Amino acid sequence: MGPLYCALISQIVIILAFAIIGAGLKYIDDAFDEDRFSKKKAIVMAPIIVLIWICLSLFDSVSATILFSILFAVLFTGKIDNLIFKMCSIALISILVLTQMLNLLWIPLVFLTLMGVADEKGNDYVDNHATLKLVEFFFSYRFCMKMGLLSLCILTLLPWLYLLAFLAHDGAYESVRIVGKISVAHKRKKKHAIAISPTVNE
């Protein structure tokens, strides 16, 4: 295998790892906060997500920088609100302190963390206030961090690969959210059909 082939494989692995982490985080979040998915599956999934996160971070400082900026943003905004996420956060931060503190890219880390905080605060605001449709769309889909990563890539502070990886993370996260909503709607429809069936039979 040549160096180009190995580089391509590593890029695909990074993108897939980001997507798996994004999907896993949303699954766990909705399992415990929205009761949309199986809590048992979420508990099994949590250590797998942590392991993928740690392995990716240990071998790739840029991935570590982006992933930990996401973690710090939700920590600083108080979004770690269930036991599984708290345990995962403790494990990840412990690994960070022990192995990665000197390898992180500090300027991108601080910048992306601030963008992540803006996303979380903005998302909370549009959830609770009437705003312009464009503003609601911007913060509902957390565009601050996307634009932050785009800016860092344009300035050549980060390779373009990581914008793709982050978009894969975000796309997987949103896909699980949509699947969860569809699942809930289907369950409600099924319950409603069962509830009215005795009346119809009478």
Distance, in Å, from the CA atom of 39 to the CA atom of 132, rounded to the nearest integer, reads 36
State the pTM of this model. Answer: 0.86
Position 197 pLDDT exceeds 70: no
- Location of structure tokens 């996307």: 146
On the question of pLDDT at 202 being above 60, the answer is: no
Token pair belonging to 155 = 């300035």
- Which of 4-13, 48-57, 62-71, 147-156 is least confident? 4-13
Paired tokens of 88: 């995962």
**Would residue 35 be called left, alpha or beta, if left means φ above 0 and alpha means ψ between -120 and 50 degrees?**
left
Average pLDDT rounded to a whole number, residues 95-122? 84
**Backbone torsion region of residue 142, taken as left when φ is above 0, otherwise alpha when ψ lies between -120 and 50, otherwise beta:** left
Average pLDDT over residues 118-131: 87
Greater model confidence, 101 or 89: 89
Within the chain, what is the greatest distance between any pair of CA atoms?
A: 73
